[in-house]
Amino acid sequence: MEATLFVLGLIGAGVFAASGAVVANEERFDLIGAVFLSVVAGLGGGTIVDLVSGVEPVRWVADSTPLWIAIGAGVAAFLTARSARLPEKTLNWLDAAGLALFTAEGMERLIGLGINPATAVFLASIGASGGGILRDTLANRQPLIFSPQTELYVTAALAGGVAYLAADALGAGGRWPMLTALAVTFAVRAAGIVFKLRLIGGRGR
């Protein structure tokens, strides 16, 4: 199971790093700036989870593989975005994939650490969205999670976390709770993107 979690974390880091590179290209960052933003996006959320849950040292400090994955994915995505016109909503779909991967990986890891289930759901959601928040903030953008124009986002991660707990409570063994969390998170986020589903927002001033 640990190997599966490691691979999920690597894929998630690569996907979110690619999203950082897409933002960097849109904001006309140079290559070094793009790599920096990619690393922050790819590793930021997991770092938050490790620090809050007491994991020492932070995983990518102990094993630099995620760092190199984030750098490689960031460079590749930046060069691709710079030389080709990407499909509309590329950033949204990269975010959806990263959100699902990190929600599933976060839930499995946190429950394994003995974290209270309710706390695990919220912490996994924070970790899954943290890289995107840091990415957008450093790029001087309103984070997707806080934009009134953004479709279901953290809601998807919360739904995935609850789905993990439900699958576990129903006796699903092995990787099934984790896979359930991944599928539900991505499905809710994808439905939000496709059907423009949003929660009610404030009326403003």
Q: Where are the domains of the chain?
A: 2-195
Q: Is the pLDDT of residue 196 over 80?
A: yes
Render pLDDT for 102-135 as a digit per residue (tens, 0 to 9). Answer: 999 999 999 999 999 999 999 999 999 999 999 9
Task: Name the E strands within 23-176.
Answer: none
Q: Is the pLDDT of residue 2 over 90?
A: no
> What pLDDT does 1 receive?
72
Q: Both tokens of residue 124?
A: 């996994």
Residues 185-189, mean pLDDT to the nearest whole number: 98
Please tell me the pTM assigned to this model: 0.95
> What pLDDT does 150 receive?
86
Other residues' Cβ atoms within 10 Å of the Cβ of residue 169: 10
- The Cα-based distances of 95 to 27, 135, 137 in angstroms read 17, 11, 15
